[in-house]
Structure 1
């Protein structure tokens, strides 16, 4: 693979989806010194690039039949034809394996969080589970984006565990996945890939996202206090605008701003956790 195709496969616009939770997990301990640990910095590199190659590379290997029908893949994202699958598979293995070896030095809870991340990332797209083609399980598997935060938190010595915070994050990432599936409804139906969005339709999926974001804000309130309200309102507004757009094309125009919105909200969470 060329370096340009390699970077496109890793989806740079989505890098913060795994790197962001990692640095928020570090910030939760409110100790800036943890950012300078060699192991912390090593896995920061992992969640910057190799982890994204794993998530999206596996997706591209198993999604060609859907992707070839999807307008998002015509310029907005990379399309990986069958003759490039083997090269991509080797790229995923070679960029991830050194970090799997290094995970031997992680605390046991951080190791388990990393194992969960890898398993969810692989079997979201790959058989025999292929969660992305199983309605509602596709959204649930998006818990993979929470795992880097827990890797960081336990790596840095965190001990406390909050179930409300876990479920708040889970509701948020489920909404993120469901919303991302809305512009793909037609392509997924044509390829007989059944998702939460193909099951509920455009309007039903957006209403589900609205409920999930509201739930996330409510559950997160004990942890992030007043910040839960503006964050919840931001996502509620996006869902209402998307409902008003009413078409996949209209939602896609809004969706192109979704990574930036998530990055800005993630930054707010980072500073709230750190301070």
Structure 2
């Protein structure tokens, strides 16, 4: 039993929970929602249950790709399951979802049922074994915008208005960046397995340049739209690091496992640190 629980936790990728938490928390920064129990139920859902469904579903159809991936079998980057383990994943995924489905619909009504349906539809269209968007670049980058459905989940649950459209644009770039960075890290295993992604199609260098361009766009939005100067300054640091990486550090060679793990700890520190900073300053809510 404990081995199963460890496997399930690895499947959910705790090293990437900050992404769903970022999207869940942004609509209610600076509010009193933190003192309400529905907020914390949604918070819990945005950790293990939601990510277990997202990544577990993906792992079931990505067996051939993942078995070539040296990063897997960790709490940072996910499990490397056997065929038998992966074939048995859907039942625990459903069990983990059911209590939250029942509560969300009971507490928020049928609009929440529509939100949940959209979340599951996004995952179905991404993970269809033969025709899933996961293998149809660049549509996998469009599909990842389904992460934004977490915003109405949060606003319905906490009875708050939705975010300004400028904040949604910023979150959309955030989601696409997360997808592209994952594709860069997985480019060699994906090629070995014959999987098509934006990174395998346009190549490592072009994908890194696209990432740099998107980070520049984030920095401009933070500075010009939200006047979030500290966050914009941090993004400038990220841009300089990405340029250094592109020009010198790992232009041709693949990253080592140690570098992957260092990156994982770094993005978690940056992710949770930015959540706390945004909560403190209420950035990404005030338009100038």
Normalization by structure 1: what TM-score? 0.87
Q: Distance in 2 between matches of 1:180 and 1:254?
A: 14
Matches within 5 A, 1:88-167: 88-104=89-105, 105-106=107-108, 111-127=113-129, 129-167=131-169
SS at match of 1:73: coil
Q: Is residue 255 from structure 1 mapped to residue 254 from structure 2 by the alignment?
A: no
Give the aligned CA root-mean-square deviation in angstroms: 2.5
Residue number in structure 2 paired with 1:77: 78
Does the aligned pair in 1 maintain the 2:187–2:199 contact within 8 Å? yes
Residue number in structure 2 paired with 1:177: 179
Does the aligned pair in 2 maintain the 1:10–1:57 contact within 8 Å? yes
Q: Is residue 186 from structure 1 mapped to residue 188 from structure 2 by the alignment?
A: yes
SS at match of 1:263: helix
Does the aligned pair in 2 maintain the 1:58–1:126 contact within 8 Å? no
Q: Distance in 2 between matches of 1:175 and 1:49?
A: 22
Q: Is residue 264 from structure 1 mapped to residue 266 from structure 2 by the alignment?
A: no
| CA-to-aligned-CA distance 1:127-158 (integer Å, 9 cap, x gap) | 46522212122222222433323321342222
Q: 1:159 to 1:23 in 2, by over 3 A?
A: closer
Matches within 5 A, 1:160-239: 160-220=162-222, 221-223=224-226, 225-239=228-242
Does the aligned pair in 2 maintain the 1:180–1:255 contact within 8 Å? no
Q: 1:41 to 1:114 in 2, by over 3 A?
A: same
Q: Distance in 1 between matches of 2:163 and 2:31?
A: 18
| CA-to-aligned-CA distance 1:3-28 (integer Å, 9 cap, x gap) | 1111111111112211232122221x
Residue number in structure 2 paired with 1:15: 17
Normalization by structure 2: what TM-score? 0.83
| CA-to-aligned-CA distance 1:194-235 (integer Å, 9 cap, x gap) | 111111211110110111122223234423532441242143
Q: Distance in 2 between matches of 1:255 and 1:130?
A: 29
Q: Distance in 2 between matches of 1:212 and 1:53?
A: 28
Q: Distance in 2 between matches of 1:114 and 1:131?
A: 19
How far is the alpha carbon of 1:54 from its aligned partner? 0.5
Q: Judge which range, 233-242 or 95-104, deviates more.
A: 233-242
Identify, as 1 or 2, the structure richer in helix. 1
How far is the alpha carbon of 1:121 from its aligned partner? 3.3
Q: Distance in 1 between matches of 2:122 and 2:221?
A: 23
| CA-to-aligned-CA distance 1:14-58 (integer Å, 9 cap, x gap) | 12211232122221xx322x2233322222221121011101111
SS at match of 1:78: coil
Residue number in structure 2 paired with 1:6: 8
